[in-house]
Structure formats: C-alpha cells, structure tokens
Structure 1
Amino acid sequence: MINEQALLQQLSLGDRQAFAAIYEEYGAGIYNYLLKFTKDPLLTEDLVHDVFLKVWEIREQLNVTSSFGAYLYRIARNTAITQLNRISLYDTVRDELMHRISLNNDYPELMHELEAKQYRELLQQAINKLSPQRREAFILVRQQGLSYEAAAAQMNISRHTLKEYLVLAVKAIKEYLLAHGDISLLMLLVALK
C-alpha cells in the first residue's frame, strides 16, 4: 500500500514520479470502475486519462482530508457522468439532424461535400495550433492509426508521455472545434460518417 499523504505532498510540488506512482496504484481500478459506466474500452481509456489529467492540473490545490482513493473515484464518477451526458446530447442532436435531412430529399450532395471540406479545414487549423509533440502524437495515433507503443517508439518517448500528449491534444482540438465551429455542422458530419 502506498503512503498517500507523502505522495500527495510530492505531487503538489509537481513530482512526476509521485504522479506516476498514483497512476500506477489507481489507474487499473479507475479503468474498471469507469468501464461499468461506459461499456466502451476506448472511451473508458480516454476518461481515465481525463481523470488523471484533472488530478495533475489541480495538484497544487489538492486537500484530501480522508481517502484519496475515494476522492479519485468521485472525480472519475463525475467525469463519466459529464461525458456520457455530452454523448447523449450529441446523439440527440445527430438524430434530429438526420431526421431533418431525411425529410428533405432534395438536400444536395454538394452541400455535404462542402460542409465536409469546411470541417476538415477547421480540424486541420486545430491540429496546426497544437504544440509539435502533441501534434505528432495526435497524427500518429488518431490519423495514421499507430498503436500507443508504436507511436511512442517513433517519437522516442514513453507510452505514458505519449498518452499525456494525446489527451491534451484531443482536449485542445475539441475546445477549438467547439469555439470556432458550427455545432450543427460538426454533428452533421459525425452523423454522416
């Protein structure tokens, strides 16, 4: 069993080894816990990264008076609920868009192509705004389809570091698309793929 308070103290000072020890101790349990909510291994892996990213981001303000494990599971639960609600909202919007499109049989294919081109350009703008490491991680894993291990080896970094880069890249891209894109355009394109 780890000494939580000592690790949390080290973590608050930005100690990456303490963070890695916490991840090692709780990562698998958080994954299994979240998998019960999502039933989707890939989504669950992303959520686990979101949970630990949040811990890293708030490390200086962590003030856990009881069990850090319980605190971490509460963060995991809230993260899962937020994400599942967001997915549900997107599904609702997608269904509504598909319904509207099906009512209008004259909706030109050219419009689909134009919207897809606009989305691809917006996505590329978001990718271009990433730091070089995050951009490379995103391109290797999400666009070229490399495994985490292969991408990490190609970048000459650890799998854990690659995951950090990828989580931060995906978060930045989502924020950029939501800030600069038309949500109905984005949802329409998701529905058409």
Structure 2
Amino acid sequence: MYDVEQIKNLLTQAKNGDTEAFGTVYESYFSQIYRYIYFRVKDKELTEDLVQTVFIKIFVNLDSFNPKYPRTYFFTVAKNIITDHWRKKKDILFDEKDSTFAKVADHGNDPHSDMEDKERNSMVQKAIGLLQDDQQEVVQLKFIHQLSNKEIAQILNKNETAVRQLQCRGLKKLREYFKENNVL
C-alpha cells in the first residue's frame, strides 16, 4: 500500500496523462472500495459496476482533484455513488443480513477453519445488521477499512464527536448481541 504522499504524486502524474499512474492508484484502492460498496449493496455484479463508476468519476474529475486526503475523497465518492444508485432505485430494498462480511481470518484451504470463518462471519453480519444504518457505516469504515474518526467524519459529513458516539453505541450493541448469544 502506498502512503498518502505517494498516492498524491501518482494522482498528479495521472492528471498529466499518465494512465499507468492512475492504474496503480486503482489497484491500491480497488479492494477497499469494493468491500465498502459490497457491504452496502450486497450484490457482486452491482458492486463491480458501482466500483467502476467510482473510479471513472475520479478519473474524469482528475483536473479538479485537489483533496488533502485522497483516501477520504475516494470513500466519499463511493458513498455518493451508492446514494445516487439507491435514489434512482427507491423501489429496490436490500436485506442487510445477506451481506458477505470481509473475512475475519485466512486459514488457507482448511475446511474446518473455513466453516468456523463462515459461522463467525455470519454471526458478525447478523450483529451488524441489527445496528442503525449510520452505526453500521461507522463500524464498517473504522474496523474493516481502518479509517480514522477524522476521515469517517469527512466522508459522512459529521463531526468527530458524532462519529465517536455512533461508534460507541454501535460497539455497545455488538457487545450486547455477542454476550446474549454466548459469543464472548
């Protein structure tokens, strides 16, 4: 993974016509943006389409691109693309419980470990599905994508205190759920 300054340099190169530099940025952020979008839409093909839309939008707007924090900008674009999609498809409802959560651990091809991972992921999915939408988003951005509270606040257009409160409330609900289900 590249640091912020390297990404900024790659984006500057891309602004000047270096498509390989943009390809490097794309490869660096693809999986993070993919997971973020998939968690929200729960459909592989739709996720792929929306991820492409995100990077196309970023590429098309490179001339006006000048954010201090590229990663935050990418997630903000992704959030806006998802919002636009749902706004256009108001009649489509999605079920939070059908999401596939990012793998908690990679144990190779061990069937027993894979089964445990699936059970654990299912439990985490169910628990996160019980959270309010804004709590889900904060928990996902914080713990799956490892963004700072400041970055999350910028993406969600909230202040850091609100992000911390959403995170605390979400984690409290998750703890309660895991305790009730004898996971802890």
Report the TM-score when normalising by structure 1. 0.45
Rg: which structure is higher?
Answer: 1
Structure with more of its chain in helix, by fraction = 1
Report the TM-score when normalising by structure 2. 0.47
* Higher RCO structure, 1 or 2 (CA under 8 Å, sep 6+): 1
